[in-house]
């Protein structure tokens, strides 16, 4: 049976302008970092993507090395774009990135023009697309002159292989410099993707949020649930199938000590008083911080739906914000 998206999908989601542009992003975007690789079940990945679109999530975010194996998440999306979503490309925002290690040798990593151009060409082939809507440099590369990296982004923009240009994981000073170079080239910086959640406040202390506002650059926050810490997953123990239980991940069992668990429990009480789960409150907190879009992941349609429930959040009271800060800071 042919896929037919929900007719009311755009009534199910709110959208915000991305900085000083006409581009609107959904308040929730779907990241394909985990659960969309060649090691994962394709039908599950497809069902997550379609459930997202049914609920007005129009932005799918990737990178060249998402998988595993590296590149396979883009192939997964490409397969769905070529079949179930084949008639809906113009309703979607597809973003990808390059900056971390992707292939062997000196040209498969960093911020050189050689690497960025080659990487995007490979990504377009994997997704069977002529262009992406947003292309990011994934990380600041101290080994490459920033002028070269920004010139590569300008070339990609001029060639029409990306409609908008973004950066990711740049600090405030690096962002200021990138904006200045791109402005001199006549290319707007549209979006910055960075780690931000109730536990991770570097975007505040570094001044990045103020820098983005000053330059009219949109913001998209990844790791909104702090790799699952800001949920009910680790309230009492560490599930065997959780990220913390897996070796070589971004979260380890050592990260979940008694002090952290007490913070999670205290935040959960605030969320319950707001008639929310902790995960819902963590997402809503980012919206309170005026983040353009919150980048979520999902391992199943039901988990995605849990995050979608944050759309029903009531505005925060000042006392609630002060209580959250007292716990987290």
Structure-token pair, residue 225:
């649930």
CA distance 266 to 329: 13
270 located within any domain? no
255 located within any domain? no
Total domains present in the chain: 1
Q: What is the mean pLDDT of residues 76-85?
A: 98
- pLDDT tens digits, 6-49: 999 999 999 999 999 999 999 999 999 999 999 999 999 999 99
Q: Dihedral (C-alpha) 258, 263, 269, 270: value to the nearest 10 degrees?
A: 180
Give alpha helix (H) positions in the chain. 42-54, 72-81, 113-127, 146-158, 172-184, 202-205, 208-215, 258-273, 278-288, 301-308, 318-328
CA distance 192 to 25: 13
321 located within any domain? no
- 236 pLDDT band (50/70/90 cuts)? low
Structure-token pair, residue 180:
């200045």
- pLDDT tens digits, 100-148: 999 999 999 999 999 999 999 999 999 999 999 999 999 999 999 999 9
Q: What is the mean pLDDT of residues 219-235?
A: 90
274 located within any domain? no
37 located within any domain? yes
Domain residues for the domain of 70 are: 13-227+290-314
Q: What is the mean pLDDT of residues 85-99?
A: 98
Domain harbouring 220, CATH code: 3.20.20.100
3 located within any domain? no
264 located within any domain? no
- 245 pLDDT band (50/70/90 cuts)? very low
pTM: 0.94
Long-range contact list for 285-290, CB < 8 A, 24+ apart?
A: 285/198, 285/316, 285/324, 286/196, 286/197, 286/221, 286/224, 287/27, 287/313, 288/315, 288/316, 288/321, 289/196, 289/209, 290/213, 290/219
175 located within any domain? yes
Report pLDDT for 256. 73
Report pLDDT for 1. 76
Chain position carrying tokens 């992003």: 25
Does the structure show a pLDDT above 60 at 163?
yes
- pLDDT tens digits, 205-221: 999 999 999 999 999 99
């Amino acid at each position: 049976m042919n896929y037919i998206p929900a007719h009311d999908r755009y009534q199910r989601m709110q959208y915000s302008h991305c900085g000083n542009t006409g581009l609107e992003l959904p308040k929730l975007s779907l990241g394909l970092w985990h659960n969309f690789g060649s090691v994962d079940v394709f039908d599950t990945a497809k069902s997550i993507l379609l459930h997202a679109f049914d609920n007005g999530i129009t932005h799918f975010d990737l990178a060249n090395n998402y998988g595993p194996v590296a590149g396979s998440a883009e192939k997964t999306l490409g397969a769905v774009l070529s079949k179930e979503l084949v008639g809906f490309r113009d309703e979607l925002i597809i973003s990808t990135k390059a900056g971390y290690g992707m292939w062997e040798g000196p040209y498969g990593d960093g911020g050189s023009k050689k690497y960025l151009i080659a990487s995007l060409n490979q990504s377009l082939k994997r997704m069977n697309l002529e262009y992406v809507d947003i292309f990011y440099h994934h990380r600041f590369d101290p080994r490459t002159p920033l002028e070269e990296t920004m010139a590569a982004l300008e070339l990609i923009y001029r060639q029409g292989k990306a409609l908008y240009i973004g950066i990711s994981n740049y600090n405030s000073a690096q962002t200021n410099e990138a904006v200045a170079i791109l402005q001199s080239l006549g290319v707007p910086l549209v979006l910055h993707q960075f780690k931000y959640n109730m536990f991770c406040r570097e975007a505040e202390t570094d001044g990045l949020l103020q820098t983005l506002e000053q330059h009219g650059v949109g913001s998209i926050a990844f790791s909104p649930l702090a790799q699952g810490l800001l949920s009910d997953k680790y309230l009492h123990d560490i599930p065997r199938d959780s990220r913390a239980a897996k070796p070589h991940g971004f979260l380890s069992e050592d990260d979940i000590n008694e002090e952290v668990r007490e913070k999670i429990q205290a935040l959960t009480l605030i969320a319950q008083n707001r008639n929310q789960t902790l995960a819902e409150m963590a997402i809503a907190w980012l919206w309170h911080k005026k983040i353009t879009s919150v980048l979520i992941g999902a391992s199943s349609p039901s988990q995605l739906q849990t995050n979608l429930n944050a759309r029903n959040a009531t505005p925060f009271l000042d006392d609630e914000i002060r209580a959250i800060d007292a716990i987290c800071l």
